Amino acid sequence: MKSILSFIFHCTLFLFSFPLFSETFLISESEYQKRGLKILETILQANQFPSPTIDSNLNTAAEKHGNYLSVNQNANVKVDSQMETIDWVHNEREGLPGFIGKTPQDQALAVGFKPDPGCYVGNTVLPLMKKEHRESPEFLFRGLLDTPFHRSMVLHPAIQRIGMKRVSYENGKYILVFFAEYCLSGKKPAFVHYPVSNEDQIRLRMPPELPNPFPQLQYLSYSTAITIQLFFDDNSETELFWDEAVLLDSKGKTIPTSTLSLANPPPDTKPFLKSMKFVAFVANEPFSPNSEYTVRTKVKNQLGKIVFQKTWKFRTEAEDSFFKTFAPQDPE
């Protein structure tokens, strides 16, 4: 029987067969969750977004969904596309052991969580690949922040409540399950860009992600993605496209880039991309360490009107932290 979850966890964000080692946790679940909240607050405060709170029911939803994934890791379920793979990780199928609800919202409702009016619940899952991952969820939030399709799970102006849980997966291995409530009602449409202006610790390269946002490029061969996303827009007709996407190095030289928008959606992603209302681009090679870059952008809508225009700068980290963060490591 095919081990479908093993395949999915190697693809959801980071496409590597890294071992998930067993070890007694050095900190309590409560302390782990507090560390996660503090890291998320740092990300949000850098963008002047309000801080969320930890919710015990969302912690329970994370635990229950993790148990569902664990018990069904060898389920004989056919997955034929990137989007079906994503559906398997986030949603549940009625009739399988441990089922509590189809969607993340249903899963949260099933354990007593009550979303505020105009709010919805999302979730994601990652394997605990290294020793330090078991003691801090920084790798989760950093990984989400560094990938364009998952970025808005943490870089969101209206995260209200969160929950997370380290869940036993198989043979002493663990996964981290994250739930969050996003509240959209009563907000005015607003664009959010990443990196933020004058940020100085941008990763040099982007982790692999599913769906693959830049299938024309080889994984790990290009930079962290620059994104512009429109939040709180309830117009279903809104579509965003690049009018200008320029990246300059510290000497003002134009850097070759690859773009992502509804003009060139990856396979199977057009409806998903349209619903997210964002555009992105990457440098075709990883950023240089400790270097300043200038971004010059114009974004237009489906009518050709320029709806966002901005030029800003950011700086990269001093050394490539990707392999340091995600390379395999034997337990001590």
297: domain CATH number?
Answer: 2.60.40.3780
Q: What is the pLDDT of residues 100-135, one digit of tens each?
A: 999 999 999 999 999 999 999 999 998 876 777 778
80 — pLDDT class (breaks 50, 70, 90): low
Q: What is the pLDDT of residues 237-284, one digit of tens each?
A: 999 999 999 999 999 999 999 999 999 999 888 998 999 999 999 999
Q: Are residues 79 and 179 in the same domain?
A: yes
When the pLDDT of each residue in the chain is averaged and rounded to a whole number, the result is: 87
Residue 46 pLDDT more than 90? no
Q: Are residues 308 and 222 in the same domain?
A: yes
List beta partners, residue 53.
161
Q: Are residues 207 and 305 in the same domain?
A: yes
Give the separation between CA 146 and CA 151, rounded to whole angstroms. 7
Q: Residue 185: which residues within 8 A CB-CB, separation 6 or more?
A: 117, 118, 119
Phi, psi of 202 (to 5 degrees): -75, 135
Q: Are residues 32 and 134 in the same domain?
A: yes
Last residue of a domain, one of 186, 213, 247: 186
Q: Are residues 197 and 180 in the same domain?
A: no
Q: Is residue 329 part of a domain?
A: no
Q: Is residue 132 part of a domain?
A: yes
Q: Residue 123: which residues within 8 A CB-CB, separation 6 or more?
A: 61, 62, 65, 90, 104, 107, 177, 178, 179, 180
Residue 13 pLDDT more than 90? no
**pLDDT, position 222:** 96
**pLDDT, position 12:** 46
Give the separation between CA 63 and CA 165, rounded to whole angstroms. 6
Give the separation between CA 91 and CA 69, rounded to whole angstroms. 10
Residues 185 and 117: beta-carbon distance below 8 Å: yes
Q: Are residues 174 and 67 in the same domain?
A: yes
CA 163-91-241 angle, 5° bins:
90
Q: Are residues 154 and 226 in the same domain?
A: no
**pLDDT, position 328:** 55
Give me 246's structure tokens.
Answer: 């320029």
**pLDDT, position 291:** 97
8 — pLDDT class (breaks 50, 70, 90): very low
173 — pLDDT class (breaks 50, 70, 90): confident
Last residue of a domain, one of 129, 158, 186: 186
Q: Are residues 179 and 228 in the same domain?
A: no
Q: Are strands 159-168 and 53-54 parallel, antiparallel or unpaired?
A: parallel
**pLDDT, position 22:** 45
Residue 325 pLDDT more than 80? no
Q: Are strands 159-168 and 174-183 parallel, antiparallel or unpaired?
A: antiparallel
Q: Is residue 290 part of a domain?
A: yes
Q: Is residue 220 part of a domain?
A: yes
Query: Which has the minimum average pLDDT: 9-13, 250-254, 289-293, 306-310?
Result: 9-13
Residue 331 pLDDT more than 50? no
Q: Are residues 194 and 230 in the same domain?
A: yes
**pLDDT, position 159:** 96
Q: Are residues 237 and 95 in the same domain?
A: no
Which DSSP letter does residue 137 get?
Answer: T
Last residue of a domain, one of 154, 186, 218: 186
Structural domain harbouring 251 = 190-321
Give the count of domains, the chain. 2
